[in-house]
Amino acid sequence: MSDPESSLASINESLSFQYDKKSLLGKGASSTVHKGTFKEEAVAVKRMKEELSDEYKDLLKNIKHENIVLVLCIESYQGSDYIVLELCLASFYQYFKEFEKVTNKFDGLTVVKKDVNQDAVRGLEYLHEQSIVHRDIKPGNILLVQKSSSSEVKAVLADFGLSTKLDDDQFSKTTVDGRGTKAYIPPELLVEDGSKLKFSPQSDIFSMGCVIYFAETDGHHPFDTGDSRGAAIHQNVKDYNPCDFRLLDGKPIASALINKMIQHNRASRPSASEVLQDPYFKEDDPQDTVHVPPQVTEGEEAPQVDTPQDTSEVQDEASILPPEQSVSADGEGHVSIPSPEQSVTDTSYGEQLYAVMSDMSHSLPGYIVDQYIRLLAIINVKCDMKPDWLLSKKFLELYSTHVSNTSPQVAASYVYKILTGLGYEEMDDFSAYLHTEVEIDTKINEELEKITEFRPAVIKVIRGELGPRLGDYQIDRYRMVLTVLCITTFDSNKSFFELFTDLTGNLGKYPLAVSLTIGVLERSGWGDTKKLKPFLLPNFDLNTSYPKIDLCLTVADYYGNMSQRDFSSAKVYTSSLHLNSHNVSNMSRVQFTLLLMERSVIEAGNVSKIEDKVRYPIFFKEYEKRCKGPTKVTAPATNETVVPSLPIQEMKAQATSSQSPSTPTDQPNIFTRVKNFFLPSSKQQAQEVPGTTTQAKEPTPESSNTAPAPTVTSAAKEGTLPAPAPPIAATVPASTPPTAPIVSPPISPTATVPAPVPLPELFPEKGEKEYETKLPEEHVKGIIKDFRVLLMTATEVELRGVLGYLKPLDGRDRIIKSFINGTWIYVGMYGGYSVVVGKSADSKGQQGGLDALIITNKIMEIYKPRYIIAVGICFGMDHSKVNLGDVIVSNFIVDFFNFRKQPESITARKPQPPAGRTLLRFFGETSKFEIKHSDQENPKEVEVHCGPIASTPALVDDPKFKEELREVRPDTLGGEMEGAAILHAASEAHHKVEAIVIKAVGDLADGKKDECRGWKDFASHAAATFVHDKLNIAAPDALK
């Protein structure tokens, strides 16, 4: 290999300019920019990665104007083209959005906002006079330059990679890729038909209007209505949905000009010359002038005359632009890296490196941090880490330990080698901080060769493990989200992996794509995302990061919880009101949601146009409440920002001060207590206090339910868990004409209120009913082989509630009771359906998931039900949400048996499929019903809720333990012992079967179960009544 230093020397000798590869100013997909010299003047040298066309070279050479960046020369060497440009101070983006980062470059200089805006328009006027359109006007392509021998600053246009000559008709045909930067593309170019894309001078005017707004508001966009991401602004431009211009209050002249420049109809926009004649540029405003006084060190006097600023660390048109804020002409954002001090022992260099590490640490996924920790351990670089530390703190602490053992240069070199070796994509310009070669330990290099890089590791999970297991429901919703995000329609035949590839192409960052994917899947009832979790961004929150995606998922859920009949009615009604009776009859729930978004019937934070205030008030209240403020908790970046005057150790202490580990408590936490419940009694007794005995069952098999894996910090503490489906109202007719209902008052957790007593004939004691018991086994199997419904109970009390409504099959005198496959089953009519009834526990000692799983599987070996309904009793989790006697319809089960304890979370170990969609729609449409069996009986009004139910093999009667369960999953309404196992049995069945848990509150798990004895009977009766009434009024084929 040739010596790079000698190679650089030969380049410098062959060209009329010199540049230093180590002084990187910026880098993009098509070029790199270094500091150099030309005729003894400091310049910026742009080395192109691809050969420039002659047309582009001619354009650069021929445009000469004081408000166009000065091109000093264009030369070629060994197949590479070099453009030498004047050095600039900063871009509009840096100056107006990130001034604190470039303040030092403006020492002693004066910037007048209106003047630099006027300069930019003058540069544009010149281009248009030359019949040239820029096609990529944005804050990053307008640069600030110090005027010669003056303290004043002017603006120049830069980056002409998309610029082109106009045709005779004053238009320039363009392509989708040639429209410019996403957030600054005018609306006339946001059309689906690429053949109609025509760029005009007025297209540049629209972009320049957005830039002037950006400057006047210090970094905001006129189409930013709350979501500042480029894709959201892009959609607002397409929909022509500008903000309310509140940020320009007090600036009516500026507001008027910008409004004219960003008119939807390009013919209504002024020309550049007309813009320059606007009163805006004739009005003086002292607030528009910013003078940065020169930096004066102790013992010096401020200079009395203006002096040119040293431009040794400025950049050219490759401006500092975060990737989500700007995309360059060639599709990649430029990133500028300031050159640090050359001496690796200089304290300021160490501080600078720590600042870079601190900033980077907040975006490092767990996969990267874990491998960094593991690899440094190979060379004995270790530090004590607390389990509850954030990833950023772990990374910074280990980096600081490495610095203390070696030097900032060595530690940073290892970071660069490890992260680039792992394929981390945000490290391209980090090498600019490293000025000397550091030899990396061979053991690190050898181990890196064995580790799968970041992107291939993600692809392996997406393509090989997650994609093949997802259902059509999850993939349809994922496709919907991509349609909203990418503003394009995706082929319905595309696989999940192909859709993910499209997403990464749109976002440009794999960690962000992974984070978004996890959020969408977990909002779509898929809980098994743990293998993707190591690759997501820390602190990512779907709701606050992507409000429009939150909106589309929320509305899709709203329609998804409707029956087909109700959904059809809702479509027709909404279409007649808001869509001019557009034909929506064949649209699916996803398609209809997308149409409502496209027509702006629904918008982020506002779903009032489709809200049903009578039947569905809570559903959208939860959404609007979520939209009122961010729930995301971000790392305390302010405490990790380097103050240059602080020593490195003080900065370390400051950076970690707000991340101290939790205060320990003497009380055993939830995980210890749950673990005790799961241990066999012999092992548990060994851990108990001597003299005490505790019985506990063996753990049940690993089960599945629908809850996304909750985390203590991001979920329970931040409140970002999926909201429970609300009570949905529909009146169930009473069997007889109703009298005035007596509504039961809310039952206090401490009150001993007598429970309503079920009628004896509807809550029979054991042995009161007569059964047909002598039928042969094969005969019974023949009778039930086509039955679709299985009702599962656990205890005798639960069975009594169901048997109260069970009637003989048509043509029979008695209910069938048969002992088959080692378990008793009951066969009869329940409402309008032929059903089988099972009971999993013969005694209190058999309550729990293991027996429920075994018995459910045994019954499914006898026949193949399509629907399993677990009916019975639960405890109430939160008295402010549910009362004694209330019925809870589970939209999913929170499984506290099959969990994994991690430093900051409790997560399910297996997928958690949702409650059956058909069953949830069938049973989820009521908020209350009346229990009334005769004209003489006062009706009992019972509330019905729809939400999560916790399932644990522990018999909970401890308010502290219940509170700990509730803290992990605060939206949980109740708890019981068998639901997770029944859902697991359904998910593992060899035929298609849905399951749901419907139970009523029999106690409040507050240590007073005995005082609620009567409420258990009523709760069993209430749940059984609710299920019976629903099955009784339904059409015989409603549950097919």
pLDDT at 731 over 70: no
563 near 632, Cβ under 8 Å? Answer: no
Residue range 4-86 in CATH 3.30.200.20:
yes
Quote the pLDDT of residue 239.
80
pLDDT for position 784: 94
- pLDDT at res. 343: 38
Q: Please spell the DSSP secondary structure of 306-372, one letter per residue.
A: --PPP-TT-B-SS----TTT---TTSS--EE-----S-TT-HHHHHHHHHHHHHHHTT--HHHHHHH
- Under 8 Å between Cβ of 836 and 758: no
Full strand arrangement of the beta sheet holding 90-91 = 90-91, 142-146, 153-157
Which pLDDT value is given to residue 651?
31
pLDDT tops 60 at residue 649: no
The span from the CA of 585 to the CA of 595, in Å, is: 13
The token pair at 767 is 């042995």
- Is the pLDDT at 682 greater than 60? The verdict is no
746 pLDDT tier (thresholds 50, 70, 90): very low
Alpha-carbon span 948 to 867, nearest angstrom: 19
* pLDDT bucket at 777, cuts 50 / 70 / 90: very high
Question: Among 299-303, 887-891, 915-919, 1014-1018, which is the least confidently predicted range?
Answer: 299-303
Which CA distances in Å does 358 have to 51, 71, 658?
Answer: 38, 37, 14
Summary count for the chain: helices (H), strands (E) = 33, 29
Q: Looking at residues 191-208, what average pLDDT do you find?
A: 78
- Give 903's contacts (C-beta < 8 A, 6+ positions apart): 387, 388, 389
The larger pLDDT score, comparing residue 153 to residue 692, is at 153
Percentage of the chain exceeding pLDDT 90: 20
Specify the residue for token string 């007025």: 202
- Determine how many CB atoms are found less than 10 A away from the CB of residue 381: 19
Burial 970-998 (b: 16+ CB within 10 A, else e): bbbbbbbbbbbbbbbbbbebeeebbbbbb
961: Cβ–Cβ under 8 A, 6 or more apart, which residues? 670, 673, 954, 1005
Highest mean pLDDT among 171-175, 507-511, 515-519: 515-519
Most confident by average pLDDT, 82-91, 489-498, 621-630, 785-794: 785-794
CA distance 953 to 975: 10
Of the pLDDT bands very low, low, confident and very high (cuts 50, 70, 90), residue 272 is very high
CA 209/CA 528 separation, integer angstroms: 47
Pick from 50-64, 293-307, 779-793 the range whose average pLDDT is largest: 779-793
Tokens linked to 694: 């505790």
Residues 783, 815: Cα–Cα separation, whole Å: 12
Highest mean pLDDT among 28-37, 299-308, 1020-1029: 1020-1029
The mean-pLDDT minimum among 585-589, 822-826, 959-963 falls in: 959-963
State the pLDDT at residue 655. Answer: 34
Query: What average pLDDT score do residues 376-385 get?
Result: 91
Using DSSP bridges, classify how beta strands 940-951 and 742-743 pair: parallel, antiparallel or unpaired.
Answer: parallel
* CA separation for the pair 453, 241 (Å, rounded): 42
pLDDT at 26: 72
Is 46 annotated as a binding-site member? yes
Asked which of 539-553, 802-816, 872-886 is least confident by mean pLDDT, the reply is 539-553
Q: What's the whole-number mean pLDDT along residues 1034-1039?
A: 83
> Is the pLDDT confidence value at 447 over 60?
yes
Q: How far apart are CA 439 and CA 447, in angstroms?
A: 15
Q: Could you read off the pLDDT of 452-496 as tens digits, one per residue?
A: 888 889 998 988 888 888 888 888 888 888 888 876 777 778 888
Q: Is 813 helix (H, G, I), strand (E, B) or coil?
A: coil
Do 790 and 859 form a contact (C-beta atoms < 8 A)? yes
Distance CA 84, CA 46 (A): 6
Q: Is residue 905 within 8 Å of residue 710, measured between CB atoms?
A: yes
Give the mean pLDDT of the chain: 75
The pLDDT value recorded for residue 632 is: 37
Six-digit token pair at 38?
């030309």
| Runs of H (alpha helix) within 495-616 | 496-507, 510-523, 542-545, 547-560, 564-578, 589-598
Report CA-CA distances (Å) from 831 to 223, 803, 834, 865, 1035.
57, 12, 8, 17, 11
Note whether 898 and 949 are within 8 A (CB). Answer: no
Contacts of 743 (CB under 8 A, 6+ apart): 941
pLDDT band at 633 (very low <50, low <70, confident <90, very high): very low
Annotated domain spans of the chain: 4-86, 90-291, 340-451, 453-540, 542-631, 754-890+942-1033
Mean pLDDT of 196-212: 88
Average pLDDT over residues 644-671: 35
Confidence of residue 685 (pLDDT cuts 50, 70, 90): very low
Least confident of 287-301, 361-375, 416-430, 980-994: 287-301
pLDDT range class, residue 809, cuts 50, 70, 90: very high
Count of C-beta atoms within a 10 Å radius of residue 129: 12
- Cα 747 to the center of its chain, rounded Å: 39
Please, which pLDDT band fits residue 644 given cuts at 50, 70 and 90? very low
> For the domain bounded by 754-890+942-1033, which CATH number is listed?
3.40.50.1580
Report whether 359 contacts 372 (CB < 8 A).
Answer: no
Evaluate whether 925 touches 563 at the Cβ level (below 8 Å).
yes
Mean pLDDT of 880-888: 89
975 forms bridges with which residues in the sheet? 875, 950
The whole-angstrom separation of Cα 594 and Cα 575 is 13
| Range among 626-630, 634-638, 653-657, 746-750 with highest mean pLDDT value | 626-630
| Range of weakest confidence among 88-102, 210-224, 613-627 | 613-627
Burial class (CB in 10 A: 0-12, 13-18, 19+), 775: middle
- Residue 334 confidence class, pLDDT cut points 50, 70, 90: very low
> Alpha-carbon distance 678 to 699, whole Å?
5
pLDDT > 70? residue 941: yes
Which one has a higher pLDDT value, 324 or 911? 911
Residue 670: pLDDT above 60? no
pLDDT, mean of residues 595-615: 76
Please tell me the least confidently modeled range out of 184-198, 287-301, 792-806. 287-301
Q: Which superfamily does CATH assign the domain made up of 90-291 to?
A: Transferase(Phosphotransferase) domain 1 (1.10.510.10)
Angle subtended at Cα 221 by Cα 216 and Cα 227, rounded to the nearest 5 degrees: 140
Could you tell me the pLDDT band of residue 289, with boundaries at 50, 70 and 90?
low
What mean pLDDT do residues 599-619 have?
71
The pLDDT assigned to 168 comes to: 66
Does residue 102 register a pLDDT over 60? Answer: yes
pTM tops 0.75, yes or no: no
232 or 295, which is more confident: 232
Determine the pLDDT at residue 369.
Answer: 92
Candidates 369, 424, 368; CA nearest to 395 is 369
pLDDT higher for 131 or 638? Answer: 131
Quick one: how far is CA 936 from the chain centroid? 55
More confident call, 288 vs 606? 606
What average pLDDT does range 119-129 have in this prediction?
Answer: 94
* b/e map 506-517, b = 16+ CB within 10 Å: bbebbbbbbbbb
Q: Evaluate if residue 85 carries a pLDDT over 80.
A: yes
The pLDDT assigned to 845 comes to 53
